[in-house]
Amino acid sequence: MSVKGLDVGTAFIVCQEEDATGKIHTRSQRDAFFEVTSGEMTKNALNENETNYVKMGDKLYVVGDDAMEFAEAMGSKARRPLSQGFISPREPEALAIIKKLIAAVLDKQVGPPPHKVVFSVPAEPIDDESRRASLTYHRGSLTTILEQLGYEPIPLTEGLAVAYSELREHHFTGIAISWGAGMINVATTYNSVTIPELTFALARGGDWIDESVAAALEESVAVVCGVKENKDEFSLATKYSSGIPQALSIYYDALVRYAFAHVANRVKGLKRRFVNPMPIVVSGGTTSPPGFDDLVRRVVAETAFSNYKGDKFLIGDVFRAKKPLLSVAGGCLIKGIVG
Ligand SMILES: Nc1ncnc2c1ncn2[C@@H]1O[C@H](COP(=O)(O)OP(=O)(O)OP(=O)(O)O)[C@@H](O)[C@H]1O
Ligand SMILES: [Mg+2]
């Protein structure tokens, strides 16, 4: 038997597995594709360079990290097979592209079957009614792809994966929040048991920040995202008075407030009471800029959390995962190992 953890995200696809010596191996690809001119010359060049590509009809698509490189070289933009956490309904090629990327990060199967893969799926988005049905399609399509690749697929809600990887020292009790590119995924556990009222997704994330800043300043999304991801150009610990960094700070603040307004709203309907303060762990690529955890602490301190009877819902430590881009795949792997 073998087990792998797989995070199928809007921006990145990540796999983690443990070898016989207990060493963890990570493989990651950008969740992206780029159409290149079809023809024998191109195909031969791609083969010689060992570029990852898919052929569909008379079209060729470079996928993953290579797609980003190609897009930049062509002065264009790569496309994404996922949009706001789900397989994109606007990209007919999406399923074949995702299959190729998943096969690449899963790599070889080791040992005899069964080969299990625990894969992440978003929770139900509560701020976008129209997309709730998409979750069933998304989960079903990934299940089919993994079965076709010879695996036994086990879905796991993204926020729970973060809880499994980051809340061990808190006895798997707390609020785990994955801040991704397309979504924010929240999961709450009490001694590892899921609290469903506080487990949900919101259809906003890093992409929303990039697009909002770009629209406000009439800049390109790629330029904005480049500044956001460069710690020499942007930090949440610095105060800016103009330009892209200032606009990024404004939308980061708005995103964090948006998320905790939803958490507080859900807590308000809660017919439960927790005696001890709930720790909060934040993870995901969007938590990367310095100062993100302080921003969360500030917003949490300014938000009133109380249940349906008005009992205070206490928040404990707020901390950031050590490896924000890997904790979903890591949590999936833990779930696969522990069962
Ligand atoms: N160093 C960085 N600074 C700021 N933002 C970053 C950094 N690195 C990555 N990001 C942002 O993090 C996001 C990707 O994070 P992550 O990989 O957790 O998302 P995902 O799992 O692919 O998406 P989702 O969970 O929403 O489907 C992108 O918006 C990206 O711009
Ligand atoms: Mg994610």
Pocket test for ligand 1, best of 10, 184, 232 (most atoms within 8 A of CB): 10
**Residue whose CA lies nearest to ligand 1 atom number 4:** 229
Tell me which ligand sits closest to the C-alpha of residue 28.
1
d(CA 86, CA 205): 13
Q: Which residues line ligand 1 (CB under 6 A)?
A: 9-12, 85, 178, 180-183, 205-207, 225, 228-229, 284-286, 288-289, 325
Question: Candidates 229, 283, 292, 326: which one to mutate for ligand 1, based on the most atoms within 8 Å of Cβ?
Answer: 229
Question: Which residue's CA is the closest to the ligand 1 atom numbered 15?
Answer: 285
What does the pLDDT profile of the chain (339 residues) look like in tens digits? 999 999 999 999 999 999 999 999 999 999 999 999 888 898 999 999 999 999 998 899 999 999 999 999 999 999 999 999 999 888 889 999 999 999 999 999 999 999 999 999 999 999 998 888 899 999 999 999 999 999 999 999 999 999 999 999 999 999 999 999 999 999 999 999 999 999 999 999 999 999 999 999 999 999 999 999 999 999 999 999 999 999 999 999 999 999 999 999 999 999 999 999 999 999 999 999 999 999 999 999 999 999 999 999 999 999 999 999 999 999 999 999 998
Ligand 1 nearest-atom number relative to CA 184? 26
Cross-strand pairs, 319: 281
Asked if residues 10 and 182 have their Cβ atoms less than 8 Å apart, the reply is: yes
User: Which run of H or E residues covers position 69?
Assistant: helix 65-73
Inter-CA distances, 67 with 53, 70, 302, Å: 9, 5, 43
CB 60 within 8 Å of CB 35:
yes
